[in-house]
């Protein structure tokens, strides 16, 4: 089950709508910094466009060995960091030092691995956004990109409804 809470975001552009919903749920989307990426093998190919977009948006990537190898093989610049059980420095150290602004970590099956659980728990404790699905990562990158491209405005739901009704009436008469 996935949930962002009882919030919604409305805009003509998906990225801004998602960013508004994220803000309403208390999720702070970073506009720069380092992103930790560690995904299961089945997600390694699909994470590549997300990773490229993050680099294009000015982020630096940090990954554990398997994800690091996949990113580097695809020509995506990133730094390698130890898994928690491999010793220090590791991603928990980077989180503690406030060197990570976003965590993208897809679970490795139904039973959580100890490293993944510790990483996600520590990030949540520190207020660092944690994304655990590819669709979530794509939406977050879309939101960050939209926020970096333009400002957004807050519009009352009633005003959206009025505008929608007006455009429906115009389209029906045309």
Is residue 112 very low, low, confident or very high in pLDDT (cuts 50, 70, 90)?
Answer: low
Q: Taking residues 80-90, what's their average pLDDT?
A: 90
Of 112 and 79, the one with more pLDDT? 79
Radius of gyration of the chain (CA): 18
User: What's this model's pTM, rounded to 2 decimal places?
Assistant: 0.84
The residues spanned by each domain of the chain are: 14-166
pLDDT score at 2: 54
pLDDT at 42 over 70: yes
Is residue 10 very low, low, confident or very high in pLDDT (cuts 50, 70, 90)?
Answer: confident
Q: What is the CATH number of domain 14-166?
A: 3.40.50.1380
């Amino acid at each position: 089950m996935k949930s962002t809470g009882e919030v919604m975001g409305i805009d003509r552009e998906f990225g801004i709508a998602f960013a508004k919903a994220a803000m309403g749920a208390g999720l702070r989307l970073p506009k720069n910094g380092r992103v930790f990426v560690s995904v299961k093998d089945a997600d390694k190919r699909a994470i590549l466009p997300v990773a490229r977009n993050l680099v294009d948006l000015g982020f630096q990537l940090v990954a554990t060995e398997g994800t690091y190898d996949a990113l580097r093989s695809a020509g995506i610049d990133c730094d390698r960091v130890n898994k928690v059980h491999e010793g220090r420095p590791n991603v928990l150290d980077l989180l503690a030092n406030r060197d990570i602004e976003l965590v993208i970590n897809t679970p490795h099956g139904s039973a959580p691995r100890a490293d993944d659980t510790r990483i996600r728990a520590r990030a949540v404790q520190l207020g660092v956004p944690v994304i655990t699905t590819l669709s979530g990562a794509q939406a977050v990158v879309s939101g960050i990109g939209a926020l970096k491209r333009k400002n957004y405005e807050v519009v009352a739901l009633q005003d959206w409804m009025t505008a929608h009704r007006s455009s429906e009436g115009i389209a029906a008469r045309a």
